[in-house]
Amino acid sequence: MTEKIMIAGSGGQGVLMLGLFLARVAAMEKKNATWLPAYGAEKRGGFSHCSVIISDEEIFSPMVENPDTLIVFDQRAYDSYKSRVKENTLVIQNSTLVKDDEALPGKKVKLPALEMANRLDLAKVMNVIMAGAYVAAKKVINAENAVEELKSSLGRKESGVIKKNIDAFKAGMEYAGKK
């Protein structure tokens, strides 16, 4: 099993953290994982992007060129990477900020992650909602482990924030599970 994930959006949306989260859960599950951010000047404000690979085998280049899964947070990210989408690519798109595009191949999960986050009264959990959708749509990493990682990464945050994050993750899972 080798799963190549490309995650793209804008600075502040939690793109890099989402990638890190998925890689950490994979590490917890004793899988091999890589996480490669776009770094430096790019990371300030503008475009944000990272590659994650999860595998049972040795991982070669950490750069993802042809993703098995593309997770896009906004229209600019979508436009930049839609050419990478093939018939069997899973696309998880934040439909609040990405216009629907019937012409694109691939299996799609469209979820209004920003709206859902606002409903939870915490815009910052948008990436956690996207994570939940990914875990449900592609069973590469285990949902319970993901919740565990979520808890441990939020460690010292107040309990209300932790609960909102877990709710967000579950909301994402449910939404993707229904589709």
Partner 1 sequence: MSGKMLMKGNIAIAEGAIDAGCRFYAGYPITPQNEIPEYMSKRMPEAGGVFMQAESELISINLVFGASVAGARSMTTSSSPGMSLMQEGISYMAGCELPGVIVNVMRGGPGLGNIAPSQSDYFQAVKPGHGDFRMITLAPSNIQEMYDFTFEAFDLADKYRNPVMILTDGLLGQMMETIELSRGRKPLNPRPASEWALTGAKGREPRKILSLLMKPGALEQHNYDLWKKYDEIKKSELRYEFNEKEKDYDCLIVAFGSVARTSKGVIAEGKDIKAALFRPVTLWPFPYAELREAAKKAKKVFVFEMNMGQMVEDVRLAVQDDSKVEFYGRPGGGLPSQEELLSFLRKKVK
User: Where would I find the beta strands (DSSP E) of the chain?
Assistant: 2-10, 32-37, 47-55, 69-72, 90-94, 107-111
Name the segment binding partner 1 (CB under 8 A); options: 18-26, 124-132, 133-141, 160-168.
18-26
Query: Per rule CB under 8 A, is residue 136 in the interface with partner 1?
Result: no
The nearest distance, CB 137 to partner 1, in angstroms, is 23
Query: Per rule CB under 8 A, is residue 178 in the interface with partner 1?
Result: no
The nearest distance, CB 55 to partner 1, in angstroms, is 10
The nearest distance, CB 157 to partner 1, in angstroms, is 20
Query: Per rule CB under 8 A, is residue 110 in the interface with partner 1?
Result: no
Query: Per rule CB under 8 A, is residue 20 in the interface with partner 1?
Result: yes
- Per the CB < 8 A criterion, the answer to whether 11 and 48 are in contact is yes
The nearest distance, CB 166 to partner 1, in angstroms, is 21
Cα 50 to chain centroid, rounded: 10
Query: Per rule CB under 8 A, is residue 40 in the interface with partner 1?
Result: yes
Query: Per rule CB under 8 A, is residue 35 in the interface with partner 1?
Result: yes
Query: Per rule CB under 8 A, is residue 80 in the interface with partner 1?
Result: no
Q: Which of 171, 60, 58 is nearest to 119 (CA)?
A: 171
Q: Which residues contact 173 (CB under 8 A, 6 or more apart)?
A: 132, 133, 135, 136, 143
**Number of H-type helices and E-type strands within the chain:** 6, 6
Query: Using CA atoms, how far apart are residues 14 and 24, in angstroms rounded to an integer?
Result: 15
The nearest distance, CB 86 to partner 1, in angstroms, is 13
- Residue 43: DSSP 8-state: G
Query: Which positions lie near partner 1, rule CB under 8 A?
Result: 20, 23-24, 26-28, 30-37, 39-41, 58-63, 65-66
